[in-house]
Amino acid sequence: MAYEMTLITTMAISILFALSLNFISGFCGQISLGHAAFLGTGAYTSAMMTKADIPFLLTLPAAAITAAILGFVIGLTSLRVRHDFLAITTMGTGFLFVGLIRQQEFFGGEIGIAGIPSTGLGREGFMALCIGLAALFAIFSMAVRRSWMGFVFESIADNEDITRILGINASAYKLIAFVIGTATAGVAGALYAHHFRFIGPDSFGFVESVSVLAMVIVGGIGSTAGVIVAAAVMSVMPLLFQFIDDYKLLLYSALLFFMMRFSPDGLAGLCSRIYAKLRGQRT
List the domains of the chain with CATH numbers: 2-282 (1.10.3470)
Residue 15 has pLDDT above 80, yes or no: yes
Q: What is the mean pLDDT of residues 94-103?
A: 84
**Residue 47 vs residues 62, 111, 153, 186: alpha-carbon distances, Å:** 11, 14, 34, 12
Q: Are 133 and 63 in contact (CB under 8 A)?
A: no
Question: What percent of the chain stands above pLDDT 90?
Answer: 28
Residue 22: closest CA among 222, 266, 192, 255? 222
- pLDDT in the model for residue 83: 65
d(CA 253, CA 264): 14
List, in order, residues 6 or more apart from 82 with CB less than 8 Å away: 160
Looking at per-residue pLDDT, the higher value among 220 and 280 belongs to: 220
Q: Rounded to the nearest 10 degrees, how much is the dihedral formed by the CA atoms of 266, 272, 275, 276?
A: -130
- Rounded to 5 degrees, what angle do the CA atoms 217, 219, 220 make? 65
d(CA 88, CA 45): 26
Which of 130-144, 180-194, 239-253 shows the lowest per-residue confidence on average (mean pLDDT)?
A: 239-253
Q: Are 225 and 19 in contact (CB under 8 A)?
A: no
Q: What is the mean pLDDT of residues 43-59?
A: 91
- pLDDT in the model for residue 262: 72
Which of 4-18, 142-156, 261-275 shows the lowest per-residue confidence on average (mean pLDDT)?
A: 261-275
Residue 269 has pLDDT above 70, yes or no: no
Q: Are 194 and 116 in contact (CB under 8 A)?
A: yes
DSSP 8-state symbol, 116: P
d(CA 240, CA 149): 39
pLDDT band, residue 280 (cuts 50/70/90): low
Model pTM score: 0.89
Residue 186 has pLDDT above 90, yes or no: yes
- pLDDT in the model for residue 261: 74
Question: What percent of the chain stands above pLDDT 70?
Answer: 89
d(CA 249, CA 282): 41
Q: What is the mean pLDDT of residues 149-155?
A: 87
- pLDDT in the model for residue 19: 94
